[in-house]
Amino acid sequence: MKLDKYFIQLNQTEYEEEILVEEEIDQNSDAELVVYNDDYNTFDHVIKCFVQILKHSYVQSEQLSLMIHFNGKAIVKTAPYKVLKPFKEALLEKGLSAVIER
């Protein structure tokens, strides 16, 4: 979604209005699955989620969990949006904070 501004005029008075406009998502363009740091998931839980859901190796999952911890977030997978969406949903179900960014 993006924020657009529109100007309207009523009774000689001009008003500025902001509305959210949903952008069409290109399902085939590359996007990034980003996981954010939190204060309640353990390293072991995050690593286990990456191994099970994203099919990363243990070492790669461990490195990503450290990057998330020290940087506040990390890109854990890059692929088309339609490929990343089920991964994001599965990570959310496991209690991780994940978003898809372009």
Task: Please check whether residue 75 is in contact with residue 56, taking contact to mean a CB–CB distance below 8 angstroms.
Answer: no
- What pLDDT sits at residue 11? 62
- What pLDDT sits at residue 29? 78
pLDDT-derived band of residue 102, with 50, 70 and 90 as boundaries?
confident
Over residues 21-39, the pLDDT tens digits come to 545 556 677 999 999 999 9
Percent of the chain with pLDDT over 70: 74
Domain 26-101 architecture: 2-Layer Sandwich (3.30)
* Nearest residue to 48 (alpha-carbon basis) of 60, 30, 61, 35: 61
* Nearest residue to 63 (alpha-carbon basis) of 44, 49, 47: 47
- HSE at residue 86, side-chain half, CA atoms within 13 A, is 4
Give the whole-angstrom CA distance, residue 25 versus residue 14: 33
